[in-house]
């Protein structure tokens, strides 16, 4: 057991955000970290549209390393890819505390952090400083400042600034914690967003694969409209990340958390996020690379998302409950799931259930 794994149970004694800050501070030192080869489990994956190659299919979801301060440490823990951010053009403090809540029985978290970050330029220079030491690709997730008069211009800024520095860029229009942000997923606003992002992407010095991160709370009607719009953007948009957190509150959450505003992640999100992934893979075929996210806590969860159409998956909440040992465990379990069904690689199993 390495030091990061030893400390995980101790961190649970602290309030959630204090535990996270302490984790980032510890990871920044790099002390006591293992150096795991992310290719050792043989669960590598290739994303055909974007050309990305991940040494394993288990990635770190956005929100853990908002300022890209610990990419090097996270790659040493064995992730197959990392997503830093969300970053906004200008630094902002986020929402008042407390804004992060655990539901340990349900293996869930509610957060309403509100894009607290030091600004895109700092995160990007942190990526530049660590990139040569990383053993896996790194993406940057971009968002809009809460007080921005024009949210879309903030995405244009992020796309230009991150081009060529990150291995991929995620346009995050699905956080529930910035009022109005999720409206960019709907008809006219979505068309405007994608058209302006396409222009910014085409004008950037070194066009980088772009993904769009979606909410699991879209209605069937929203999804139908989204699919129509996405079909017209296959020339430049590489993929979708499905999904962000949900504003739904299942009955089985503790009463104290039922009324806490914010995004719910972890086990309660697994089914809905996988269902949306399957719907989009079914409708869009091979037009886009899909990354599954939401409630992945085992190899079986990851495998279910792959068979529903994902080329790779991301996780965050399981890391906080299981510690960094989850990365190896999930990769090994995934390898066993693939072998049990006679698949030689992740790619062979993508969309097997669709
Ligand atoms: C504390 C916390 C902060 C998050 N911050 C972000 C963020 O800044 N940007 C983003 O796109 N997603 C963010 N997310 C959502 C995750 O990236 C992911 O989509 C979601 O948690 C579902 O995955 P999980 O169930 O494995 O946690 C955050 C999640 C958590 C728990």
Query: What are the tens digits of pLDDT across the range 161-195?
Result: 999 999 999 999 999 999 999 999 998 999 999 99
| DSSP bridge partners of 83 | 139
pLDDT range class, residue 12, cuts 50, 70, 90: confident
Counting residues of the chain whose pLDDT is more than 70, the rounded percentage is: 99
CB distance 345 to 44 below 8 Å: yes
Instruction: Tell me, using a 6 A CB cutoff, whether residue 63 lines ligand 1.
Output: yes
Q: What is the pTM of this model?
A: 0.98
pLDDT of 1: 65
Give the nearest ligand 1 atom to 85 CA.
8
339 CA from centroid of ligand 1 (Å): 30
CA nearest 304: which of 282, 325, 277? 277
Give the nearest ligand 1 atom to 111 CA.
1
Give the nearest ligand 1 atom to 314 CA.
26
Instruction: Tell me, using a 6 A CB cutoff, whether residue 175 lines ligand 1.
Output: yes
Q: Whose CA is nearest to atom 19 of ligand 1?
A: 244
Q: Which of 244, 294, 318 to mutate to test the pocket of ligand 1 (most atoms within 8 A of CB)?
A: 244
Active-site annotation, residues: 175
Please, how many CA atoms are within 13 Å of residue 299, restricted to the half-sphere of its CB? Answer: 18
Least confident of 1-15, 193-207, 256-270: 1-15
Residue with tokens 């062979």: 348
**β-strand 168-172 against 210-214: which pairing, if any?**
parallel
pLDDT of 165: 96
Mean pLDDT, rounded, for 35-48? 97
How far apart (Å, rounded) are the C-alpha atoms in residues 300 and 39?
Answer: 19
Mean pLDDT, rounded, for 42-69? 98
Above 80 in pLDDT, residue 111? yes
pLDDT range class, residue 307, cuts 50, 70, 90: very high
Above 90 in pLDDT, residue 9? no
Tell me the CA distances in angstroms from 161 to 120, 145, 289, one per residue in order. Answer: 8, 15, 23
Q: Whose CA is nearest to atom 10 of ligand 1?
A: 62
């Amino acid at each position: 057991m390495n030091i990061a794994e030893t400390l995980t149970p101790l961190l649970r004694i602290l309030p959630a955000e204090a535990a996270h800050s302490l984790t980032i501070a510890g990871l920044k030192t790099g002390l006591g970290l293992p150096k795991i080869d992310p290719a050792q489990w043989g669960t590598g994956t290739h994303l055909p549209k974007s050309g990305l190659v991940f040494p394993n299919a288990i990635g770190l979801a956005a929100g853990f390393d908002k300022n890209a301060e610990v990419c090097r440490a996270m790659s040493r823990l064995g992730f197959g890819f990392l997503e830093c951010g969300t970053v906004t053009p200008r630094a902002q403090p986020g929402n008042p505390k407390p804004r992060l809540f655990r539901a340990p029985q349900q293996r869930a978290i509610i957060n309403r952090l509100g894009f607290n970050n030091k600004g895109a330029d700092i995160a990007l220079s942190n990526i530049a400083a660590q990139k040569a030491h990383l053993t896996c690709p790194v993406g940057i997730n971009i968002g809009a400042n809460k007080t921005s008069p024009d949210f879309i211009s903030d995405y244009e800024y992020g796309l230009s600034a991150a081009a060529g520095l990150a291995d991929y860029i995620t346009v995050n229009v699905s956080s529930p914690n910035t009022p109005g942000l999720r409206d960019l997923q709907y008809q006219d606003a979505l068309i405007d967003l994608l058209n302006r992002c396409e222009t910014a992407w085409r004008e950037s010095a070194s066009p980088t694969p772009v993904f769009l991160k979606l909410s699991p709370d879209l209605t069937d009607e929203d999804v139908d409209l989204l699919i129509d719009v996405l079909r017209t953007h296959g020339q430049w948009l590489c993929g979708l990340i499905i999904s962000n957190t949900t504003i739904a509150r299942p009955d089985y959450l503790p009463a104290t958390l039922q009324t806490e505003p914010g995004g719910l992640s972890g086990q309660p999100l697994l089914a809905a996020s996988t269902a949306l992934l399957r719907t989009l893979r079914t409708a869009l075929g091979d037009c886009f690379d899909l990354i599954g996210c939401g409630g992945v806590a085992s190899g079986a969860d990851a495998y279910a998302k792959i068979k529903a159409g994902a080329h790779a998956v991301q996780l965050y909440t399981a890391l906080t409950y299981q510690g960094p040992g989850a990365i190896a465990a999930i990769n090994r379990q995934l390898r066993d799931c693939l072998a049990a069904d006679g698949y030689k690689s992740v790619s062979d199993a993508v969309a097997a259930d669709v």
